[in-house]
Structures are given as structure tokens and as C-alpha cells.
Amino acid sequence: MFISLGTAVWVIYTLDHLLDAHSIQHTAHTFRHAFHQKYKKTIGAVCLIVGVIGLANTFLFLPDVIIKNGVLLSLIVLLYLGIINLKILPFPTFKEFTVAFIYTAGITLPVFSLVEEISMLFVSQTLIFFVLASINLLEFALFDFETDTKDEQLSGTRILGHQRLKFRIQVLIIIYILLMMASFYFLEMDYLVLFTFLLMGSSLILIYIKADFFSKDEYFRIFGDFVFLFPGLYLLYFQL
């Protein structure tokens, strides 16, 4: 499952970057897009190889129910990539919230497919992941405003403006805090899981508060993406 999830996430993000880089007619102003423009053939070939490995692993080793649900999610991903490539956004923050939804759906899909009953604790953890992913992506949109404007890339900030996007982030932070409190007081979430979510949320809130520091040299992107490796600490704990 980890191989399938890992390859799927990397392939989707890479395809997204390749499509963005292809749509920019000049040399991109962001490092990631410029990098994908320069090495698009090599990256495309690697993306194809990794995708084939992921598909082979999925169809050879995973249960049928996961494959069926995975195909459905794949169709949603293809629809998303098509809409983004055509530069059609149904609502201002479509890209950010859709990516957050796809990411959350992907990491919860194996559990959702295999459990007999969906508990409120599972729902709570899924919502927390979605909210954290949404905060992360909206922060990225906030920091990428200048480069997105120069490269004519669609983003929530360009459509809404800084203040309205900040308001959305602030609302999501409040929702995150409420979900954490509910999980702790009413759902008896495991302390290690709670600590992991707390570490992730605190880090993203720190990026928002200290925007002046994290906006330098794309620190926000390095730290913001690294936040989603924190759950690995939970897995490492059980391995030890």
C-alpha cells in the first residue's frame, strides 16, 4: 500500500507541475516550474516508469476493493488535471481545496476500503488531514502570488486577493483547533496521534504567523511539505 500511495502521490504532483510548466510560454519565475520546463523529457520518462511500477504493484498485490476505489479516485484526478490544464476554475480556491481533497482521499482510501465500520474517530482524523492540507495549499498560494501573477498561473490569491485568502486560512485554523479539541475530549484519540496532528498544525500556523521569514527562498515550501512527513514518526515508533 505504501508503494502504491507513494508512487501515486509523486506521479500526480509531477504531472501537475509538468502541465503548469508547459502552460507557461516563457522561462518560469519559480524554481520548480523552471526545473520542470528544463528537464521535462527526463522527468516525463521517469514519471512514466514510476507510474508503471505503481500500477504493477497495485494490480499484483493490493485487494480488489482498493483497486476499484483507486480507479474511481483516478478518474477524479484526471478530471482535476483536465480542468486545470484548460484553466477553468469552478470557484476561486478550486485548485487548493481539490488537491487537498485528492490527497486526503488517497491516504485514507486503503483504510476506508478495508474497515467494516467507519468510526467517528476515523472521520475526525480524515477531516483534520483535509483541513491541514487545505491550510498548507492556501499558504502556498499566498506566498506564490507574485510568481503566479508573472507566470499567469491560476490561484486563489490572484482571484480573491490577499485579505480574503488570509480570512479563509484563519477560518481553517479555527476549524482545526475545534476538531483537535473534539477529538481529545469526546473521541479519545490516541495521544501519539494527537501529538502528531498537533505538531503538524502548529508548524503550519507558525508558517502563517512568521510569513516574512518563510517567504524567503521558498522556506515555506520546504518546511510546509516536510510537515506531512511527521506522521512517519508515528510509524517509526511502532517499528522500534
Burial class (CB in 10 A: 0-12, 13-18, 19+), 194: middle
- DSSP states of 116-164 as a string? SS--HHHHHHHHHHHHHHHHHHHHHHHHTHHHHHHTT---HHHHH-HHH
Model confidence at 14: pLDDT above 90: yes
| Contact predicate 165/142, CB 8 Å | yes
What does the alpha-carbon distance between residue 179 and residue 182 come to, in Å, rounded to a whole number?
Answer: 5
Using alpha carbons, select from 102, 96, 48 the residue that is nearest to residue 73.
102
Digit-coded pLDDT (tens) for 156-165: 778 888 899 9
pLDDT in tens, 66-113: 999 999 999 999 999 888 878 788 888 898 999 999 999 999 999 999
pLDDT bin (cut points 50, 70, 90) of residue 139 is very high
Does position 238 have pLDDT exceeding 80, yes or no?
no
